[in-house]
Amino acid sequence: MTITFSLTLKGKPLIRSPQEVDFTTPLVKKTILSEVKIPLSQELNIPPNKIFLHLTRFVGEEIKKGEVIAEKKSFFEKKQYVSEYDGTIKEIDHEKGLVVVSTSQESQETIFCYFRGKIDEVKNQEVTLEVKEAKSFLLKQATADFGGEVVSLNDTSLTTVDQEKITKKVVLIEAVTSYNQVKLEVMGTKGFVTRDSDKQSSSMPIATVKDSSDWEAMNKLNLPYCLVDKKNNTIYFYAS
């Protein structure tokens, strides 16, 4: 069977069909958003308050590297400014004669897959993953896309849990105090799935079940992995 989920991570996915993926497979290269100020008044030798007369692209429009975004024509010559970046026109400053471009650049930081299985399709920031078995539940909220191997804890097991059981796992826990959140984060958990997190805050990803009656069913599934789809407020429990 397959499950389809959205990717809200910034960056072009590195995975392809029909690739087998796991938690060590690179998913995206993280992108860095930045702003570039282009001094068009200086480049084209025109008054700052006149640059709008020479623009070929305007606020909100996308531009590509090598594309003409402004030009100055006269009887004797034609001067053009060619963009050095891919991006979006964010602002036109008529006082300073600047065009501000919002652009993204690929960083060296790699984000790895938080799911495992066989890639069936990657299209429009959505992934269809082939798995052996899956069950979905609606969420009240999720702070991020995340997932991994699942471990279920309660008040009793929480007091004796060791780091090996927690490291790189997603913890299912009905409620967790601020102290225990810090403890579990230090032990290397990848995130939390809780029954009620309204009064909780965490630097780690956290998802809250929408219908509290689903909580018992989730803990009885005996499926080893989970995947949280933030955009669609859905959590999948599955076996790959």
pLDDT, tens only, 33-82: 788 899 999 999 999 999 989 999 899 999 999 999 999 887 777 889 99
Q: Which of 224, 231, 26, 9 is nearest to 131 (CA)?
A: 224
pLDDT-based confidence at 200, cuts 50/70/90? low
CATH class of 132-239: alpha beta
CATH tag, 32-106: 2.40.50
The answer, yes or no, to whether residue 132 has pLDDT greater than 60, is yes
pLDDT-based confidence at 103, cuts 50/70/90? confident
The boundaries of every CATH 2.40.50 domain in the chain are: 32-106
pLDDT of the residue at 222: 87
The boundaries of every CATH 3.50.30.10 domain in the chain are: 132-239
Cα–Cα separations (whole angstroms), residue 213 to 176, 195, 237: 18, 9, 16
pLDDT-based confidence at 106, cuts 50/70/90? low
Tokens 């191997």, residue located: 149
pLDDT of the residue at 196: 78
pLDDT-based confidence at 186, cuts 50/70/90? confident
Task: List the strands of the sheet with 98-112, edge to edge.
Answer: 26-38, 98-112, 87-93, 62-63
pLDDT of the residue at 182: 82
Mean pLDDT of the chain: 89
pLDDT of the residue at 145: 94
pLDDT in tens, 214-226: 998 998 898 999 9
pLDDT-based confidence at 197, cuts 50/70/90? low
Q: What is this structure's pTM?
A: 0.70
Q: Which residue has the higher pLDDT, 37 or 200?
A: 37
The answer, yes or no, to whether residue 125 has pLDDT greater than 60, is yes
pLDDT in tens, 141-157: 999 999 999 999 887 77
Q: Which residue has the higher pLDDT, 78 or 232?
A: 232
Counting residues of the chain whose pLDDT is more than 90, the rounded percentage is 60
Using the CB atoms, write b or e for 127-152: b if 16+ within 10 Å: bbbbbeebbebebbebbebbbbebbb
